[in-house]
Structure 1
């Protein structure tokens, strides 16, 4: 049976961030993830994790200037020093929060830029970062993201991501397989799961309804079937619930829209 982690950047928007840990625990979650912890002291977050018996399973490394639209630095020539500083900061937080994996966002290409011109920087930066992370026993993840949500994002397909893993050659670099993004770009999700999970190169899975990124029981995907495929394949990692509550918010908050989760708790 899949194990689900609450994404606290998206779930419980009706609460302040630090109050979302308690809400997730009360709803039966045993683990959490989110985009970024850096607006808070690691001590504050660690206290919330401990108080509510939660495991921190994932967060992102610094993405550059998020407010200005930057979505990662890994592929961007000339930003190497900033990227490496961010990896150091993320690893410091990971140690304080006992977090075993970090998502490294690739970055977006300038309009009209050729992807191939940025690929060597991407591979070089990931290789360096993986060497730093392995010293701490941390896995790094790369995630293909659809270009409807993030136009120009460097990494969009599962085959691209697995080729990056082969080119970097680091055992602690894995793919973050978000089924929402994968459905929009590629579809054929059950076949993709059967293709890639047995390789051992998928380090984390995320879910959301398609097309509007709401609860997984809203939209075109049959998640109960996909969860059965995960069980069939012996997936024992976490499944991150990275969606924007809709049904729940219309009734009385995120918790009201978690009916889909109850059979799995």
Structure 2
């Protein structure tokens, strides 16, 4: 049976961020994820997790100047020291939160910038992150993101992400398979899940094309979730979508998967 993590960056925006933990637990979620924890002390977030019986499933390493438009720095030449410092900070939070997966965002690349150089930097930074994280029993994940939502993002395709992980060769470096992004860029999700499951470290879902609940749109999630389960994936599936209206009122799709329904 699939297990789900509420993405508190996109969901439960009816509440202040610290109160989203309790709201997610009340609705039956066993875990949470979000983009970044760094606006809060790790101990404060850990207290929210513990008070609500929640597991921290995933968060992102520092992305550079997010407010200024940056979307990760792992592939950006000249930012290697900043990347390493930021990843150390991510591991500090992971230790406190009990988190075992950290997403590293590649960053943006301009049409006139040297892709080969960005890839070289990306590989070196990922190798460093994976080696550092391995000592903490933490998995590093990289995510192909569609260029409709994030124009210029360095990593867009599943096969490219899998090839990068293979080239780095670290056992704790895997791909974050976001069904929403994959459908927009490539489609053929079932075939890619079957092909790549051994190299997939985290999965996320959302409706396509509007990124609302996964019960509306062009993807057949009951089929995909059954397939994911049958392929042996035992991690949490992140619900990284924007609710159409209230978060709780839009969770009818989740009820068959809750423990009480089992």
Q: Which residue of 1 aligns with 2:241?
A: 243
Q: Does 1:262 align with 2:255?
A: yes
CA contact (8 A) 2:58 2:102 kept: yes
SS at 1:13 equivalent? coil
Q: Which residue of 2 aligns with 1:20?
A: 20
Supply the distance in 2 between the matched residues of 1:173 and 1:86 (Cα, whole angstroms): 17
1:231 offset after TM fit, Å? 2.0
CA contact (8 A) 2:139 2:173 kept: yes
Q: Which residue of 1 aligns with 2:199?
A: 201
1:117 offset after TM fit, Å? 2.5
1:37 offset after TM fit, Å? 0.3
Supply the distance in 1 between the matched residues of 2:15 and 2:27 (Cα, whole angstroms): 14
After TM superposition, list the pairs within 5 Å mapping 1:145-156 onto structure 2: 145-156=145-156
5+ residue gaps, structure 2:
none
Cα deviations by residue, 1:156-200 (Å, 9 ceiling, x for unpaired) = 000000000111111110100000000000000111111111xx2
Q: Does 1:231 align with 2:224?
A: no
Cα deviations by residue, 1:78-104 (Å, 9 ceiling, x for unpaired) = 001110000000000000000001000
Supply the distance in 2 between the matched residues of 1:18 and 1:29 (Cα, whole angstroms): 16
CA contact (8 A) 2:77 2:117 kept: no
TM-score (normalised: structure 2):
0.97
Aligned residues: 258
1:114 offset after TM fit, Å? 3.5
Q: Does 1:40 align with 2:40?
A: yes
Tell me the C-alpha RMSD between the 2 structures.
0.7
1:113 offset after TM fit, Å? 2.1
Supply the distance in 2 between the matched residues of 1:220 and 1:6 (Cα, whole angstroms): 21
TM-score (normalised: structure 1):
0.96
Q: Does 1:141 align with 2:134?
A: no
After TM superposition, list the pairs within 5 Å mapping 1:63-74 onto structure 2: 63-74=63-74
5+ residue gaps, structure 1:
none
